[in-house]
Structure 1
Amino acid sequence: MLTVVFGVLVGLVMPVQTNANSRLRLSVGSPFLASLASFTVGFLALLAAVLLLDARLPDPSLTTGHPAWLWSGGLLGVVVLTANIFLFPRLGSVQTVVLPITGQVIMGLAIDHFSLFNAPQTTLTAIRLLGALLLVAGVLGAIGLADALLHPHRDPGLAGAPGSGPGLWGWRIAGVVAGMFSATQTAVNGQLGVVLDTATGAALISFGVGVAVLLLIVLAGRTPWQLTVPEGQRRNPWWMWIGGLLGAVFVFGNAFLSPVIGTGLTVMVIVLGLMAGSLLIDHFGLLGAKRKPATVLQVLGLACMVAGVAVIRLL
């Protein structure tokens, strides 16, 4: 039970990280430069944690004889991050949330059922499928899908909006695939932690790979290095730099939980925490977000997500 609570807490940090990175992007001007800064902060935080907790750096030689995909966690993280940048303006907020989460749940259950990436095998039963469906239904309620369907002009990603057509389905499929990559990253980092015998070291390597990939992207794109104060603001808030630290907590949490409770349940409890954190930020207008009080439908959606996780964990 404590592992489930820890997973929810890990998920809670993600909306805070998103707000922090979004604010950082305003000051540096480029999403890739903001991501690079965030990944670098996370890497340095994990390096300090590894030296403090493990008293040694992870030994890459331990991966000798193991599959090369053990090193792909950082790359998958960058792909997921980049996918969100491209999906939002084409699909809108609703589908950008729902489609990747759907992909995460599907891939998480598949990884557990088929024991992909050397994950512990957990057979897909009717109960687990019911729990997954409850979780997805809860997400739909938590993001206010009913209101969005009644007012499609509010969200460019719904039917009848500009850009609708056959090409839109390609982006929708990309959204599901991005979610599947995210679940794969969870399993990969979890297995890397098992091989290295340290979840913190696995998270450090994942962030190191991510920093290298993002640095190449920034250099290849000749992105100007800058730090400015956006117009209308007196200074940059200190909290815009904590995105990397929270991202480090998230990656560590995934690497720690996946071998213990399985990839599928790890994905679900983190999604529950993510949606709960998002609603709290919106409801109270935290971190500069516009205040949007939670609706009854959103609260019921969150309760449905809790039920979904409980069904899988307790039955």
Structure 2
Amino acid sequence: MKTPSSALYGVVAAVLGGVALAVQSRLNGELGRQLGDGVAAALISFGGGLVVLLAATSATRTGRASAARFRDAVRHRRLRAWQCVGGVLGAFYVLSQGLAAAALGVALFTVAGVAGQVVSGLLVDRAGFGPGDPRPVTTPRAVGALLTVVAVGVAVADRLDAPGHLWLILLPLLAGAGLGVQQGLNGHVGKHSGGVLFATTLNFGVGMVALVVAEAVVVAVRGLPGPLPSDWHLYVGGLLGIVAISSTVYAVRTIGVLMLGLSAVAGQLIGAVLLDLTSGRLATGTVLGVALTLVAAAVAGVPRRTAPTG
């Protein structure tokens, strides 16, 4: 039985997970800036998370059982190969952090990423791309998606006089859109493996392979990245990614998918604003964009009314 206190804990966990994702963007962005190589920053972040997840999966009975179910599902073609590559899109999101978060600021980066997620989620649900049934495009969800696009325009208004970095806004927009598709793909893996831990581990493993290939190309073209920074906290981005995912696993049991999404978005945006505020990079347009994105997420989450029966 759900109690008010358990629901409160769920909301707090989801918000903290969103804050963890915002902090991850700041750390990976700074790591990419200091290395002079955003791909290397993403590789380090994914690598750290993958080591922890592999250890947890192999050490737990649940993780080993999920791996066995996954192999059986792939062998009998209940799970297709293309449904197992969601980690590539996760890697692209982390890569965009290393390439764009430092230049854009965490708040603007997060606004663009959330906008991409909302619009993509609308289309992914409509197409039935995930393991569930297709969901119709309701008026609140369509309005919410439109508002997030407007929010990006408001957030970048202060940058129009310096367009040099504006093209970078495309990275979090596309990466956020990719997260919507990734969630659908990972849903198939989770359904057939029966374990969130294994699905997360596979996600990190596939993304790691993609990033290794990408970094090999970067090194061949531009050479090795700069020396590793001495600041230890720049290397915990992967762990923060695990925190963000784990918080959703806990929270969805007590508050449901709708409140989970709204709470996580709120955490991302609030964390991003606080981070940029402490660094003196927060612009008025970005604050307005964040506020509008919060409104958009709330509007998109309005449940569909069903006609009474009987």
> TM-score if structure 2 supplies the norm length?
0.72
Question: Retained in 2: the 8 A contact 1:92–1:156?
Answer: no
Do the aligned partners of 1:187 and 1:255 also contact (CA within 8 Å) in 2? no
Distance 1:8 1:54, change over 3 A: farther
> Which stretch has the larger CA shift, 239-248 or 186-195?
186-195
The farther-off stretch of 172-181 and 70-79 is: 172-181
Pairing 1:30–2:40 present: no
- Structure 1 length-normalised TM: 0.71
1:247 partner SS:
helix
Q: CA deviation at 1:105?
A: 1.7
In 2, the alpha carbon distance for the partners of 1:69 and 1:156 equals 37
**Structure 2 CA distance, aligned partners of 1:133 and 1:106?**
8
Deviation at 1:249, TM superposition (A): 3.0
1:94-113 matches, cutoff 5 A: 100-113=113-126
Aligned partner of 1:291 in structure 2 is: 280
Decide which moves more: 109-118 or 247-256.
247-256
- Percent of aligned positions that are identical: 27
In structure 1, the partner of 2:24 is 17
- 2-structure distance, mates of 1:181, 1:293: 26
Q: Call closer, same or farther: CA 1:156–1:27 in 2, change over 3 Å.
A: closer
Structure 1 position 23, deviation (Å)? 3.1
Alignment of 1:146-185 (within 5 A): 146-148=157-159, 152-157=160-165, 176-185=173-182
How many Å apart are 1:71 and its aligned residue? 1.3
Distance change (3 Å), C-alpha of 1:265 and 1:68: farther
Aligned partner of 1:238 in structure 2 is 232
Contact 1:13 1:246 in 2 (8 A): yes
Per-residue Cα deviation, 1:9-58 (whole angstroms, up to 9, x for no partner): 32221221122223333554432222211111011122234356655332
Is the Cα–Cα contact under 8 Å of residues 11 and 271 in structure 1 kept in the other structure? yes
Q: How far is 1:238 from its partner?
A: 1.8
CA RMSD, Structure 1 to Structure 2 (Å): 3.9
Residues 186 and 254 in structure 1, CA contact (< 8 A), matched pair in contact too: no
Structure 2 counterparts to residues 1-315 of structure 1, below 5 A: 6-26=13-33, 28-51=35-58, 54-57=61-64, 58-59=67-68, 60-64=70-74, 65=77, 66-82=79-95, 100-138=113-151, 141=154, 143=155, 145-148=156-159, 152-157=160-165, 176-220=173-217, 221-222=219-220, 223-224=223-224, 227-229=227-229, 236-251=230-245, 270-283=264-277, 285=278, 290-292=279-281, 295=284, 301-315=289-303
Gaps of 5+ in 1: 159-167, 230-235
Offset from partner CA, 1:246-269 (integer Å, 9 cap, x none): 12334556788899966x987665
- Per mean C-alpha deviation after superposition, the further-off stretch among 25-34 and 201-210 is 25-34
Structure 2 CA distance for aligned equivalents of residues 268 and 140 of structure 1: 21
Closer, same or farther in 2 for the Cα pair 1:67/1:186, shift >3 Å? same
The residue identity in structure 2 corresponding to 1:114 is A
SS across alignment from 1:116: coil
Measured against aligned partners, the alpha-carbon deviations of 1:64-96 in whole angstroms (never above 9, x if no partner) come to 22122221111122334445667789x967986
| Alpha-carbon distance in 1 for matches of 2:287, 2:161 | 24
* Matched residue count: 285
- Consecutive unaligned residues in structure 2, runs of 5 or more: 1-6, 304-310
CA contact (8 A) 1:29 1:226 kept: yes
Contact 1:203 1:255 in 2 (8 A): no
Kindly provide the amino acid, as one letter, of the partner of residue 224 in structure 2.
P
> How much does 1:274 deviate?
2.1
Q: 1:102 to 1:310 in 2, by over 3 A?
A: closer
Contact 2:63–2:198 (8 Å) recurs in 1: no
Contact 2:108 2:286 in 1 (8 A): no
Query: What's the CA shift for 1:312?
Result: 4.1
